[in-house]
Amino acid sequence: MEYRIGVIPGDGIGPEIVAEARSVLDCVAQVFGHQFQYEEILLGGASIDACGVPLTDEAIAQAKASDAVLMGSIGGNTTTSPWYQLPPDRRPEAGLLKIRKALNLFANVRPAYLYEELKGACPIKDELIGEGFDMVIMRELTGGLYFGERGTEEIDGILVAHDSLTYNEQEIRRVAVKGFDIARKRRKKVTSVDKANVLDSSRLWRKVVEEVAKDYPDVSYEHMLVDNCAMQLVRDPGQFDVILTENMFGDILSDEASMVTGSIGMLSSASLNDTKFGLYEPSHGSAPDIAGQDIANPIATILSAAMLLRYSFDLDREADAVETAVKQVLAEGWRTADIYSEGTKKVGCKEMGALICERIRK
Ligand code: NAD
């Protein structure tokens, strides 16, 4: 099959980690007989340097013309980089918010997976981790409290601030459908997280999730209150498959879930709209402190490329091959500096990419 992939190398370590993810995609194309065409797109600091703005209309058009976009990360050192002397709407991060909006990316997916070999980095006790965990957090990304009406005013000499949390049933339905679709590709269990004992928006959330669930008789589902979910994530993370939740709860729970994996260089993510299109990127930033030294961990970006294959192209076998290759390389003891421990073998960014390619070819 032939696919067009938009590629945003971005800033800092972005170009290095994206180069390795591209090599892995090339390798998948070779082994499985596909054709991937790449189109480079400027975003963030790289776009400011070349075009004076963090995102151009041309870049948006390029992204829209792609079947999916793979991104490194954007941004620089926020205290020393001249990009941060610019007004907020001209800084690198403004480009990212703008492209997410332009592409209507309303669903964010972040996997949290514990690799047996990296168990030592997990802050939870062995007896609680058990067999490990393998979950994804499906977070609504464009509604709720972060996008609601807000304001601060003085009433009778006292400052009063308010933020409003609004969801309509369509916003809930489209992200719930994404959550159940993804559960179907996994262990077929959805945990919908809300605060329905207090919030009206959560009661609507629960009602709509129940309606959507009727179309997925093969997927089991449960409701869980957000405070309980926060506890369960550190008490028994193995119980979760897909956690489906609204914007603010997802923001907090996805960081909690990432933390329990213990390694930021391993965490992939995807932002999806209501077509097969998605923007795939590592969960970490552009790590300007280690840029250009060939020591960054490319695995989060390589796993983001695997998500791209699975969710945008429905190439499950190919995605499995990438994920298995990553596991194999870790099992053989290869580590980049961020996940290195005594007794393992330290490699740079390029070598880690090359090792993963070799295992896919085998
Ligand atoms: P960061 O994630 O870039 O770095 C935090 C720490 O983790 C650093 O010590 C870094 O060296 C390390 N690290 C991160 N990724 C790594 C990798 N793949 N391999 C090895 N080590 C890695 O967070 P930060 O320093 O707070 O932010 C740096 C810049 O990135 C800022 O401009 C910020 O705005 C931006 N940022 C961008 C995104 C994005 O593009 N989506 C996300 C978060 C932060």
Which of 174, 162, 221 is closest to 194 using CA atoms?
A: 221
> What pTM value is reported for the model?
0.91
Catalytic residue among 255, 274, 314, 316: 255
- Are 130 and 212 in the same domain? yes
**Cα–Cα distance between 326 and 330 in angstroms, integer?**
6
Ligand 1 atom closest to the CA of 338, numbered from 1: 20
Q: 241 in ligand 1 pocket by Cβ < 6 Å?
A: no
Cα→Cα distances 236→114, 121, 135, 240, Å: 13, 17, 12, 8
Q: Is 115 a member of any domain?
A: no
Q: What angle do CA 65, 75, 111 make, to 5 degrees?
A: 70
- Longest alpha-carbon distance in the chain: 73
Q: 76 in ligand 1 pocket by Cβ < 6 Å?
A: yes
Which of 38, 15, 17 is closest to 350 using CA atoms?
A: 17
- Are 104 and 141 in the same domain? no
- Report which residue type is found at 110: R
Cα→Cα distances 120→125, 126, 331, Å: 10, 9, 14
Is pLDDT of 258 > 90?
no
Q: How far is the CA of 92 from the centre of ligand 1 (A)?
A: 13
DSSP H helices, the chain, are 14-32, 45-51, 57-64, 92-102, 126-129, 169-184, 200-213, 226-235, 247-261, 299-307, 316-331, 349-361
220-229, pLDDT tens digit by residue? 999 999 999 9
Domain count, the chain: 2
Q: Is 116 a member of any domain?
A: no
From 219, 234, 260, give the residue that closes a domain.
Answer: 260
Range of the domain at 317: 1-110+264-362
Exposure of 213 by Cβ count < 10 A (0-12 exposed, 13-18 middle, 19+ buried)? middle
What phi, psi does 284 have (nearest 5°)? -85, 175
Q: Active site includes 194? A: no
Q: 78 in ligand 1 pocket by Cβ < 6 Å?
A: yes
String of DSSP letters for 83-99: GGGS-GGGSHHHHHHHH
273-303, pLDDT tens digit by residue? 999 999 999 999 999 999 999 999 999 999 9
**Cα–Cα distance between 246 and 138 in angstroms, integer?**
8
From 223, 244, 260, give the residue that closes a domain.
Answer: 260
Cα→Cα distances 10→40, 63, 234, Å: 10, 14, 34
**Cα–Cα distance between 328 and 320 in angstroms, integer?**
12
Local confidence band at 304 (pLDDT 50, 70, 90 cut-offs): very high
Q: Is 34 a member of any domain?
A: yes
Local confidence band at 246 (pLDDT 50, 70, 90 cut-offs): very high
pLDDT for 230: 98
- Are 253 and 272 in the same domain? no
Which of 183, 283, 198, 204 is closest to 246 using CA atoms?
A: 204
Ligand 1 atom closest to the CA of 287, numbered from 1: 3
Q: Is 137 a member of any domain?
A: yes
Catalytic residue among 195, 216, 280, 311: 195
pLDDT for 110: 96
- Averaged pLDDT, 52-78: 97
Q: Is 117 a member of any domain?
A: no
CATH number at residue 359: 3.40.718.10
Q: Active site includes 255? A: yes
- Protein residue whose Cα sits closest to atom 9 of ligand 1: 287
pLDDT for 120: 84
Is pLDDT of 271 > 90?
yes
Residues counted in the chain? 362
Contacts of 314 (CB under 8 A, 6+ apart): 276
- Are 70 and 163 in the same domain? no
- Are 350 and 270 in the same domain? yes
Q: Is 89 a member of any domain?
A: yes
- Are 153 and 250 in the same domain? yes
- Are 300 and 343 in the same domain? yes
Question: Mean pLDDT over all residues of the chain?
Answer: 96
Catalytic residue among 163, 236, 251, 338: 251
Q: How far is the CA of 105 from the centre of ligand 1 (A)?
A: 22
Cα→Cα distances 257→40, 124, 186, 230, 251, Å: 32, 11, 18, 9, 10
- Are 129 and 254 in the same domain? yes
Q: 73 in ligand 1 pocket by Cβ < 6 Å?
A: yes
Q: How many CA atoms lie within 13 A of 204 on its CB side?
A: 14
Q: Active site includes 195? A: yes
Is pLDDT of 238 > 90?
yes
153-184, pLDDT tens digit by residue? 999 999 999 999 999 999 999 999 999 999 99
From 260, 281, 315, give the residue that closes a domain.
Answer: 260
- Are 160 and 289 in the same domain? no
- Are 182 and 127 in the same domain? yes
Q: Among 284, 295, 297, say which to mutate for ligand 1: greatest number of ligand atoms within 8 Å of CB.
A: 284
Asked if residue 168 lies in contact with residue 132, where contact means CB atoms within 8 angstroms, the answer is: no
- Are 150 and 186 in the same domain? yes
Q: Is 118 a member of any domain?
A: no
- Are 127 and 180 in the same domain? yes
Q: Is 284 a member of any domain?
A: yes
Is pLDDT of 362 > 90?
no
